Amino acid sequence: MSAAAALVVAGGPPPALVDALGAQRAGAVHDVLLRRTLAVARAAAQRVEVAAATEAAATLGPGPLLVLPAICPRLGPAHAAAALADLDAGCDAAYGPTLEGDWYLAALATPRRELLAGSPFAVAREHAVEVGLLRHERALRTAADVAAFLVDPLTPADVRAALEP
Protein backbone atom coordinates (compact mmCIF):
# COMPACT_ATOMS: atom_id res chain seq x y z
CA MET A 1 0.00 0.00 0.00
CA SER A 2 1.26 3.51 -0.76
CA ALA A 3 2.24 5.99 1.92
CA ALA A 4 -0.68 7.38 3.87
CA ALA A 5 -1.89 10.95 3.98
CA ALA A 6 -3.68 12.36 7.01
CA LEU A 7 -6.38 14.95 7.36
CA VAL A 8 -6.73 16.42 10.84
CA VAL A 9 -10.19 17.90 11.32
CA ALA A 10 -9.85 20.98 13.51
CA GLY A 11 -13.22 22.67 13.55
CA GLY A 12 -12.98 24.07 17.07
CA PRO A 13 -14.43 22.87 20.36
CA PRO A 14 -17.90 21.30 20.30
CA PRO A 15 -20.70 23.61 21.50
CA ALA A 16 -21.55 21.34 24.45
CA LEU A 17 -17.92 21.54 25.61
CA VAL A 18 -18.04 25.34 25.38
CA ASP A 19 -21.26 25.27 27.43
CA ALA A 20 -19.61 23.03 30.04
CA LEU A 21 -16.25 24.79 30.34
CA GLY A 22 -16.69 28.26 28.90
CA ALA A 23 -15.14 29.44 25.66
CA GLN A 24 -11.62 30.03 26.98
CA ARG A 25 -11.19 26.66 28.75
CA ALA A 26 -12.90 24.76 25.94
CA GLY A 27 -10.54 26.45 23.47
CA ALA A 28 -7.54 25.47 25.59
CA VAL A 29 -8.76 21.85 25.74
CA HIS A 30 -9.31 21.82 21.98
CA ASP A 31 -5.78 23.19 21.44
CA VAL A 32 -4.36 20.29 23.48
CA LEU A 33 -6.43 17.76 21.54
CA LEU A 34 -5.36 19.33 18.25
CA ARG A 35 -1.67 19.17 19.19
CA ARG A 36 -2.03 15.52 20.24
CA THR A 37 -3.95 14.64 17.06
CA LEU A 38 -1.38 16.37 14.85
CA ALA A 39 1.42 14.42 16.54
CA VAL A 40 -0.37 11.13 15.78
CA ALA A 41 -0.97 12.20 12.17
CA ARG A 42 2.66 13.22 11.67
CA ALA A 43 3.90 9.92 13.09
CA ALA A 44 1.61 7.87 10.83
CA ALA A 45 1.44 9.73 7.54
CA GLN A 46 3.74 11.06 4.88
CA ARG A 47 1.52 14.12 4.28
CA VAL A 48 -0.59 15.91 6.87
CA GLU A 49 -3.18 18.61 6.26
CA VAL A 50 -5.51 20.40 8.62
CA ALA A 51 -9.05 21.29 7.60
CA ALA A 52 -12.21 22.54 9.24
CA ALA A 53 -14.41 19.80 7.75
CA THR A 54 -14.12 16.30 6.29
CA GLU A 55 -15.19 17.57 2.84
CA ALA A 56 -11.52 18.37 2.22
CA ALA A 57 -10.70 14.64 2.21
CA ALA A 58 -10.94 14.40 -1.57
CA THR A 59 -8.03 16.84 -2.01
CA LEU A 60 -5.41 14.55 -0.54
CA GLY A 61 -4.95 12.16 -3.41
CA PRO A 62 -5.59 8.48 -3.98
CA GLY A 63 -5.08 7.06 -0.49
CA PRO A 64 -4.68 5.57 1.93
CA LEU A 65 -6.09 8.40 4.00
CA LEU A 66 -6.41 8.84 7.75
CA VAL A 67 -9.10 11.28 8.93
CA LEU A 68 -8.58 12.36 12.52
CA PRO A 69 -11.01 14.72 14.24
CA ALA A 70 -9.42 16.38 17.28
CA ILE A 71 -11.91 14.83 19.74
CA CYS A 72 -10.18 11.84 21.34
CA PRO A 73 -7.85 12.45 24.31
CA ARG A 74 -6.47 8.92 24.24
CA LEU A 75 -5.74 8.81 20.50
CA GLY A 76 -2.24 7.51 19.95
CA PRO A 77 0.08 6.11 17.30
CA ALA A 78 -1.17 2.58 17.98
CA HIS A 79 -4.66 3.58 16.80
CA ALA A 80 -3.33 4.86 13.47
CA ALA A 81 -1.05 1.84 13.03
CA ALA A 82 -3.93 -0.58 13.67
CA ALA A 83 -6.17 1.22 11.19
CA LEU A 84 -3.49 1.20 8.49
CA ALA A 85 -2.85 -2.50 9.21
CA ASP A 86 -6.55 -3.16 8.57
CA LEU A 87 -6.22 -1.42 5.19
CA ASP A 88 -3.10 -3.49 4.42
CA ALA A 89 -5.11 -6.62 5.24
CA GLY A 90 -7.69 -5.72 2.61
CA CYS A 91 -10.28 -3.56 4.36
CA ASP A 92 -11.80 -0.70 2.39
CA ALA A 93 -12.06 1.35 5.58
CA ALA A 94 -11.17 1.10 9.25
CA TYR A 95 -12.82 3.08 12.02
CA GLY A 96 -12.20 3.87 15.63
CA PRO A 97 -15.76 4.10 16.94
CA THR A 98 -16.71 6.43 19.79
CA LEU A 99 -18.97 5.39 22.63
CA GLU A 100 -21.68 7.57 21.03
CA GLY A 101 -21.65 5.62 17.76
CA ASP A 102 -19.69 7.90 15.44
CA TRP A 103 -15.90 7.72 15.01
CA TYR A 104 -12.67 9.30 16.26
CA LEU A 105 -10.54 7.92 13.40
CA ALA A 106 -11.36 6.84 9.87
CA ALA A 107 -8.84 5.19 7.59
CA LEU A 108 -9.83 4.87 3.94
CA ALA A 109 -8.04 2.78 1.34
CA THR A 110 -9.40 5.22 -1.25
CA PRO A 111 -10.82 8.59 -0.18
CA ARG A 112 -14.60 8.42 -0.53
CA ARG A 113 -16.71 11.07 1.18
CA GLU A 114 -19.67 8.75 1.61
CA LEU A 115 -17.55 6.56 3.89
CA LEU A 116 -17.15 9.48 6.31
CA ALA A 117 -20.87 10.10 6.84
CA GLY A 118 -22.60 8.22 9.64
CA SER A 119 -21.67 5.49 12.03
CA PRO A 120 -19.08 2.90 10.98
CA PHE A 121 -21.71 0.19 11.18
CA ALA A 122 -24.19 2.05 8.96
CA VAL A 123 -21.46 2.90 6.44
CA ALA A 124 -20.42 -0.74 6.14
CA ARG A 125 -23.99 -1.86 5.64
CA GLU A 126 -25.03 0.92 3.25
CA HIS A 127 -21.96 0.86 1.01
CA ALA A 128 -21.09 -2.86 1.18
CA VAL A 129 -17.47 -2.24 2.10
CA GLU A 130 -15.10 -4.36 4.15
CA VAL A 131 -14.60 -2.53 7.44
CA GLY A 132 -12.06 -2.96 10.22
CA LEU A 133 -12.89 -1.72 13.72
CA LEU A 134 -10.55 -0.44 16.39
CA ARG A 135 -11.42 -0.31 20.07
CA HIS A 136 -14.08 2.11 21.21
CA GLU A 137 -12.89 5.37 22.78
CA ARG A 138 -14.69 8.19 24.55
CA ALA A 139 -14.73 11.48 22.66
CA LEU A 140 -14.44 14.73 24.62
CA ARG A 141 -17.54 16.75 23.77
CA THR A 142 -19.79 17.20 26.81
CA ALA A 143 -19.80 17.93 30.54
CA ALA A 144 -20.24 14.18 31.16
CA ASP A 145 -17.11 13.49 29.09
CA VAL A 146 -15.18 16.09 31.09
CA ALA A 147 -16.24 14.42 34.35
CA ALA A 148 -15.30 10.97 33.02
CA PHE A 149 -11.84 12.07 31.85
CA LEU A 150 -11.13 13.84 35.14
CA VAL A 151 -11.58 10.57 37.06
CA ASP A 152 -10.02 8.28 34.45
CA PRO A 153 -6.47 7.37 35.52
CA LEU A 154 -5.53 6.87 31.85
CA THR A 155 -6.33 10.47 30.87
CA PRO A 156 -3.14 12.01 29.46
CA ALA A 157 -1.60 14.56 31.84
CA ASP A 158 -1.80 17.46 29.36
CA VAL A 159 -5.50 16.82 28.76
CA ARG A 160 -6.18 16.52 32.50
CA ALA A 161 -4.37 19.82 33.14
CA ALA A 162 -6.47 21.59 30.51
CA LEU A 163 -9.69 20.14 31.93
CA GLU A 164 -9.05 20.98 35.57
CA PRO A 165 -10.59 24.23 36.82
What mean pLDDT comes out for the span 14-26?
Answer: 96
Cβ–Cβ under 8 Å, residues 114 and 127: yes
Range of the domain at 46: 5-163
Beta strand 65-69 with 103-108 is antiparallel
**Which pTM does this prediction carry?**
0.92
User: Into how many domains does the chain fold?
Assistant: 1
Angle between helix 23-44 and 77-88 (nearest 10):
50
Cβ–Cβ under 8 Å, residues 6 and 41: yes
Res 132: pLDDT: 96
Which CATH number goes with the domain that contains 39?
3.90.550.10
pLDDT digits (tens, 9 = 90+) for 49-108: 898 765 555 566 778 999 999 999 999 999 999 999 999 999 999 999 999 999 999 999
Q: What is the percentage of the chain residues whose pLDDT exceeds 90?
A: 75
What mean pLDDT comes out for the span 128-153?
Answer: 97
Mean residue pLDDT across the chain: 92
**Bigger pLDDT: 10 vs 102:** 102
Res 10: pLDDT: 84
Which distant-in-sequence residues (6+ apart) come within 8 Å of 115 by Cβ?
92, 93, 106, 108, 123, 127, 129
